[in-house]
A and B are shown apart, each in its own frame.
Chain A
Amino acid sequence: MKTLHKIMLYTGLLAGLNAQAQLRVEISGIGSNQIPVAIATFADENLSPAQVSAIIKSDLERSGAFKIIDAGVIANPNDVDFNQWKQRGADALVVGSVQALANGSYDVRYKLLDTVKGTKLSQLDQSALPQHSRLAAHKIADDVYEKLTGVKGAFATRIAYVKQMGRSYRLEVADADGEGVQLALGSNEPIISPAWSPDGTRVAYVSFEQKKPVVYVHNLMTGQRKVVANEKGSNSAPSWSPDGTKVAVALSLPGHTQVYVVNADGSGLRRVSNSAGIDTEPQFSADGQYIYFTSDRSGGPQIYRMPANGGDAQRVTFGGSYNISPRISSDGKTLAYISRRDGNFQLYVLDLASGQEQRLSDTTSDESPSFAPNGKFLLYATESGRTKSLAVVSVDGRVKQRLTVQAGNIKEPTWGPFMK
């Protein structure tokens, strides 16, 4: 109970910090073995549009891997009293500064100091355009995360999702913390299954604007769209090959839904799965060798794996009678999926080597899981009350976040790739 109250306090603080956020973050549950890190206000950080130290604190806190100590303003960041910080319980200290440059950009500098050894662990100097000042802060958080945990940080990544309000559907792109929401596509018909290209510049999705499901590839920078699959019947479930040249899709062309692969420009369509039932939701493995997919060839829907060019499929899920929406981690070791148990649709992960499964959520209408590119977190759609919203959970199940929205139903989330 004490822990819960502490979390509620943090939640209050975060809510205040994210007052402008479209997506509000609430954390429940903390992982053990948190690394204590002190974060100082960056010198002159009020100069840039983003409050750099606040963003770094928020990112690191949200990961659940750190206990954040607010260091406030440090008089002389170049001559730090390491003992003082060690005594305050911090293993590491983050200091930095922001300077306005003549060309309108900002010089954002930071250092990560080891208070125990009294040494500099890392530093990063960036020149950021005003519209990229939040990104500069996220990159610092990534650096702190990587230097202290050994794992690449995913704070500078983006997410995409569909926001539905009445008959309005919007495909939106936001930073991983829910800030910086941008509209990619507005429609009065549904949009489902958005999928990021590996280089993060395009999104494939299914649009119902032609009164039937059609797969589009949409260039985010230019707004140009191309139909990559509009065969007779339904076209859906796009998934990019790791090299970004092909898209796997589900087509009802043969009279029942089967998996096909098509080039990203819409050419070269060929069938890849072969069953008499439903084969859908193809997902390329990170090495491009396999396609995981949902099939009801054994009765109810289960997850299978086949070679990417087609061939014999092997069943992967055996728990329960309904397993859908396969997602494979980039290291190929963990499968995330949605399983129906006792009528509840819940997020599960499966360790492929051991066959051990673990339920990650306590909710009942989970959908569309998506791995963070560092494989440490899963973003998924869930329901609270009658409103659809997004949630994030660490792959070990210990850290949970709810992203609550002011209005509308948020669904179909997908986590974008690492980008420069």
Chain B
Amino acid sequence: MRNVKSVAALIAGAALLSACSTPVKESAPAPVVEKPVEQAKPVADTRTVAPVQTASIDPLDDPKGVLAARSVYFDFDSYVVREDGKPVVQNHSGYLTKNKQRNILIQGNTDERGGAEYNLALGQKRAEAVRKSMSALGVPESQIEAVSLGKEKPKAEGHNEEAWAQNRRADIVYK
């Protein structure tokens, strides 16, 4: 506080002194040179606070993350995980081995052709195929339950190969 007072006194003193400046000699006016007018620079408000939001996001909940893909598709009359299903298997296996408290249900499905009970057993084969693949990557049995929905809950309602291909599928469902 004392410093401030002495600074203030100095500034006040300087102002007085400048008021009593030496007289200016009359001479030819200096040539006027147009200088670009400098806008007065805004002085940064050092008291500004810009908010930043950070969070710990479970990769499982990231809609743009690799774990958002949870379906493995199968060919007709096939119960083998295709190449295009392997990334899903790998990504979720990785997550489950790192998160041992998470459990999943693998729900196998078939297309609409054939009997309800036999298709339930075929859908089960698809769920088991995914379960075995995850098991091979180190996920414990205790974290996985393979079940079947047979043909009872189709994702695609059509009656053509396009719809059927969508329904020949195993879904990973986190409990």
Q: Is the CB of B114 within 8 A of A233?
A: no
Q: Is the CB of B117 within 8 A of A236?
A: yes
Judged by a CB distance under 8 angstroms, whether A329 is at the interface is no
Q: How many angstroms from the CA of A411 to the CA of B116 in the assembled complex?
A: 10
Judged by a CB distance under 8 angstroms, whether A250 is at the interface is yes
Judged by a CB distance under 8 angstroms, whether B76 is at the interface is no
Q: Cβ of A212: which chain B residues have Cβ within 8 Å of it? A: 105, 107, 145, 147-149
Judged by a CB distance under 8 angstroms, whether A175 is at the interface is no
Q: Cβ of B173: which chain A residues have Cβ within 8 Å of it? A: 211
Which among B121, B124, B173 has the greatest number of chain A C-beta atoms within 10 A?
B121
A-facing residues in B111-165 (Cβ within 8 Å): 113-118, 120-122, 124-125, 128, 145-150, 152-153, 159
Main secondary structure of the interface of B (DSSP, over half): mixed
Judged by a CB distance under 8 angstroms, whether A325 is at the interface is yes
Q: Is the CB of A280 within 8 A of B118?
A: yes
Which among A280, A345, A411 has the greatest number of chain B C-beta atoms within 10 A?
A280
- Minimum CB–CB distance for A396 against chain B, Å: 24
Q: Is the CB of A325 within 8 A of B120?
A: no
Q: Looking at the complex, which one of B122, B128, B152 makes contact with A190 (CB distance below 8 Å)?
A: B152
- Minimum CB–CB distance for A385 against chain B, Å: 11
Q: Is the CB of A232 within 8 A of B145?
A: yes
Judged by a CB distance under 8 angstroms, whether A290 is at the interface is no
Q: How many angstroms from the CA of A193 to the CA of B173 in the assembled complex?
A: 25
Judged by a CB distance under 8 angstroms, whether A324 is at the interface is yes
Number of A residues, CB within 8 Å of B: 33
Q: How many angstroms from the CA of A234 to the CA of B122 in the assembled complex?
A: 11
B-facing residues in A265-290 (Cβ within 8 Å): 278, 280-281
Which among A234, A325, A412 has the greatest number of chain B C-beta atoms within 10 A?
A234
Which among B107, B117, B124, B153 has the greatest number of chain A C-beta atoms within 10 A?
B117
Q: Is the CB of B115 within 8 A of A324?
A: yes
B-facing residues in A191-213 (Cβ within 8 Å): 192-193, 208, 211-213
Q: How many angstroms from the CA of A252 to the CA of B118 in the assembled complex?
A: 12
Q: Cβ of B150: which chain A residues have Cβ within 8 Å of it? A: 192, 213
Q: Looking at the complex, which one of A211, A237, A340, A411 makes contact with B117 (CB distance below 8 Å)?
A: A237
- Minimum CB–CB distance for A228 against chain B, Å: 16
Q: Cβ of A252: which chain B residues have Cβ within 8 Å of it? A: 121, 124, 128, 146-148
Q: Is the CB of A213 within 8 A of B148?
A: yes
- Minimum CB–CB distance for A163 against chain B, Å: 14
Q: Cβ of B118: which chain A residues have Cβ within 8 Å of it? A: 278, 280-281, 294, 301, 324-325
Q: Is the CB of B147 within 8 A of A278?
A: no
Q: Is the CB of B120 within 8 A of A213?
A: yes
Q: Cβ of B149: which chain A residues have Cβ within 8 Å of it? A: 190, 208, 212-213
Judged by a CB distance under 8 angstroms, whether A394 is at the interface is no
Q: Is the CB of B120 within 8 A of A256?
A: no
Judged by a CB distance under 8 angstroms, whether A53 is at the interface is no
Q: Cβ of B105: which chain A residues have Cβ within 8 Å of it? A: 211-212
Q: Cβ of A250: which chain B residues have Cβ within 8 Å of it? A: 117, 120-121
Q: Is the CB of A338 within 8 A of B117?
A: no
Q: How many angstroms from the CA of A234 to the CA of B152 in the assembled complex?
A: 13
- Minimum CB–CB distance for A387 against chain B, Å: 13
> Which B residue's beta carbon lies closest to that of A381?
B116
Query: Chain A interface (Cβ within 8 Å of chain B)?
Result: 190, 192-193, 208, 211-213, 232-234, 236-237, 250, 252, 255-257, 278, 280-281, 294, 301, 322, 324-325, 338, 340, 345, 367-368, 386, 411-412
Cβ contacts A to B, 12 pairs, < 8 Å: A190-B152, A193-B116, A212-B149, A213-B149, A234-B121, A237-B120, A252-B121, A278-B125, A280-B117, A280-B121, A322-B114, A324-B118
Query: Chain B interface (Cβ within 8 Å of chain A)?
Result: 105, 107, 113-118, 120-122, 124-125, 128, 145-150, 152-153, 159, 173
Closest 10 CB pairs of A and B: A212-B147, A190-B152, A257-B121, A278-B121, A324-B115, A234-B148, A252-B124, A324-B118, A237-B117, A280-B121
